[in-house]
Amino acid sequence: MIKESFWPNRDNMSVRFSVSERVVRHERQSWMPVLTGSARVTSSRTEPMTRVKPMPGSRDSTYHSAEFRLNIIKAMADQLYDLITQLTPAPLTMANINVLDEKPGIYQLYRGEEIVYVGKADKSLPERLGKHVVKLSGRTVGPDHAKLVDEMHFTCLYVLEDLSAVAPERLMIKRFQAKGEAAWNANGFGRNDPGKERDTSAVKAGHFDALFPINLDVGVKVAPGRTLSEGFLAELKLRLPYNLRYDGSFKSKAGVALTEIVAGDASTTAREAFMRVIQSLPVGWQLTALPGYAILYPSGKTYPSALAWWTKVEGVVHETVGTPEFDTKGSVEDEATGDDEGLSEFSAD
């Protein structure tokens, strides 16, 4: 027997979902329990017998026995879906996130009125949602480069840790994608930095980064004055709402890592910070803004999907605005799990 308890949150944007431990332990062994029974007919009576047709898939060819299958997974999916669709989405802001309990669960991101992403948090819903606020605050939408985060809303369900093995977020992804929603679960939104080997490849046209590129004019705070490049880049990496990956030589205790970066004012934009980095470094370095992140490596490579890049020629920093090329063949690799607990927008080289 399934036992559920629901306690709506006072703001109706979150709710708690639970299933009895007895059922959970049993279902870890078999999510499709089979209850069987049979009766042998020994009576010599002549009245007509009631015949029960076996269920499809039954191995018993007789008409006086059948199999009963209880689909716990489907029942759970139905209840989760009913709860989610009853919640009222709230704007994706830190003010709304901070009132949530530090508990695990699943969540739904809305763009406008449409569910675009379903994810899970194994430890803390506020922490996971907060990371999405940071990421989306650094993305633009439309020709006027409006902040994508301003269009976002969310709902969430607190889910018992024992249910994580059931992958409730996958049940919901499947349900919403069948309706043409949860598109971001299959466009790269929840993925980590793809790595250096993918920098020179054209980004898929349907990828999240191609649809919502990084904002080069987003505000960022850096250490004012002069700072060694090793420390400056490490801090800038933490402050940006998207990843900045740079050459390993900046992590050493010699060479270019000892170059001083003249930061100027503490409050600046990502674009201005990038220009200051190139201005302070020796000739031969290039900082490139790709659709989803920025990179700093020795110049000389071509990046087909680059938004812009900065180099220094005869002591003067030059910004080149790119014409991004996107790969229109095929689709983005399927990601439909919602398991972004290990998501890191700030991965290292």
pLDDT per residue as tens, the chain (349 positions): 333 333 445 456 766 655 433 333 333 333 223 323 333 333 344 444 455 555 565 565 666 677 777 788 888 889 999 999 999 999 999 999 999 999 999 999 999 999 999 999 999 999 999 999 999 999 999 888 899 999 999 999 998 766 666 788 999 999 999 999 999 999 999 877 777 778 999 999 999 999 999 999 999 998 888 899 999 999 999 999 999 999 999 988 889 999 999 887 778 999 999 999 999 999 999 999 999 999 999 998 999 999 999 999 999 999 999 999 999 998 886 544 555 544 444 444 5
Burial string for 20-50 (b: 16+ CB within 10 Å, else e) reads eeebbeebeeeeeeeeeeeeeeeeeeeeeee
CA distance 340 to 328: 26
Taking alpha carbons only, the member of 183, 187, 126 closest to residue 154 is: 126
Q: Are 282 and 313 in contact (CB under 8 A)?
A: no
Overall residue count recorded for the chain in this entry: 349
CB-CB neighbours of 275 under 10 Å: 18
Q: What pTM was computed for the model?
A: 0.77
Amino acid present at 126: P
Q: Quote the CA–CA distance of 117 and 128 in Å, as a whole number.
A: 13
Q: Which residue has the tokens 């674009």?
A: 271
User: If phi over 0 gives left and psi between -120 and 50 gives alpha, with beta otherwise, what is residue 330?
Assistant: left
Whole-angstrom distance, CA of residue 125 vs CA of residue 15: 12
Neighbour-count burial of 247, counting CB atoms closer than 10 A to its CB (0-12 exposed, 13-18 middle, 19+ buried): middle
CA distances from 166 to 25, 81, 185 (A): 11, 15, 18
